[in-house]
Amino acid sequence: MATEAEEADSQSQFIPYWRPQTRHRNAHSKSITVAEGIDTYGVLGVHDVQGSRATMEDAYSFVVDFAGIRGQGYFAIFDGHAGPEAAEWCGNHFHEQFLKDIQESPSLPIPDVLNKTFHSVDSHLSTLSQTKGSSSGCTAVTAFLRVEDENGRQVLTRSESPIEEESTTPDDASSEHQDVPSDKSQSGSVKKKSSGSKKIRNAVRSIVSSVSRSASPTHSTSNTPRSASPVRVLYTANAGDARAVLCRAGKAVRLTYDHKGADRQEAKRIQDAGGFVLNNRVNGVLAVTRSLGDSSMKEFVVGSPYTTETVLGDTDEFLILACDGLWDVASDQKACDLIRDDQDAAHAAHVLTQYAIDEGTRDNVTTLVVRFNKRK
């Protein structure tokens, strides 16, 4: 068991908690104000449950004041399969690779940085599998929040307090419900793209529900103009069926793409690569068509992410990141409806996991809720 001193120390260090054999994780919460000078803040809550599975293969991580920049936040969930190794590694190290890629390419757009990170991590996990004899993989959903000016440049404000980082890996049994950053914004637009696609400068005038089902997993892009004052910009990336859903004025806006064998475009990609889809599974085995790791199927199951860029506005209420343990039994809109009136992000995350269990999900369930404060 981690001591109280170890839990307190997690405020300034990236420390995983190792508490095996616990199926239902406890929760605690705390508040952090961020983005000084912009007069904004937000709250984050996380909850995870092993459920009826024999093992816990989910991992999550987040970093407050990411890279020492006040108001920046990194959030991620990794849903493992065929063993916990891939999710565990990502929970501990994905953010490190992401920061390295940002620092090496400071002028590269964040969606392209995320694409680079996904591929780097995917390659690294494949190398690890060869040395450790594990072919595990994980789906992934990541979110990165920062304040930018009208030209898309980061508004830099160095944090004076210790950087808060947290992760749990598949063997951990503590659910850390932490109050985390969100920053000020004005407009409410969404850009969607995926790796390998060219940028198309099309204005998105309104988003009222989830991402169009006609969107391509590899070629969906859009762009929107920015206002003159600093805005909060939310970047997301996913591979597999872990999702990010934004609640905008009560309506669910899906920011990710489900990469599954049932998807016609993904099935065609796999067939073109020499594979096949049987019973909606890649080569009759894997339900997802994109993931990190899965070295034995890497020819078909790629790590290329679907990315989005969202300028947050006053009507954007909260963000949900969750693995398929939730989405198998709850629609995007149902998830938003369940917690819309719950201002306690930690409790909201718990509500979502409990709903999934009550609805009979047989999977591990991990949910992360970031509730945004409205502009003052």
Q: Which of 122-126, 139-143, 217-221 has the highest mean pLDDT?
A: 139-143
Per-residue pLDDT tens for 284-311?
999 999 999 988 888 899 999 999 999 9
Which domain covers residue 117, as residue numbers? 4-372
Per-residue pLDDT tens for 6-31?
333 333 233 232 222 223 333 333 23
Q: What residues contact 150, with CB distance under 8 A and at least 6 apart?
A: 226, 227, 228, 229, 231
Selection from 357, 361, 362, 335 nearest residue 348 by Cα = 335
Q: Are 32 and 180 in contact (CB under 8 A)?
A: yes
Number of structural domains in the chain:
1
In the predicted model, is pLDDT for residue 116 greater than 90? yes
pLDDT (mean) for 91-116 = 95
pLDDT (mean) for 354-364 = 94
State the pLDDT at residue 214.
42
Q: What residues contact 334, with CB distance under 8 A and at least 6 apart?
A: none
Helix, strand, coil percentages for the chain (3-state, nearest 5): 25, 30, 45
- Percentage of the chain with pLDDT > 90? 49
State the pLDDT at residue 218.
53
pLDDT (mean) for 350-358 = 95
State the pLDDT at residue 347.
92
H helix intervals, the chain: 4-9, 85-104, 110-132, 264-272, 324-327, 332-339, 345-358
CATH classification of the domain holding 222: 3.60.40.10
State the pLDDT at residue 168.
61
Per-residue pLDDT tens for 166-197?
556 555 533 333 333 333 333 345 565 554 33
Q: How far is the CA of 78 from the CAs of 19, 48, 81, 168, 305, in angstroms?
A: 18, 12, 10, 10, 13
State the pLDDT at residue 54.
82
In the predicted model, is pLDDT for residue 327 greater than 70? yes
pLDDT (mean) for 256-268 = 95
State the pLDDT at residue 23.
32
Q: How far is the CA of 95 from the CAs of 18, 114, 148, 280, in angstroms?
A: 20, 10, 20, 32
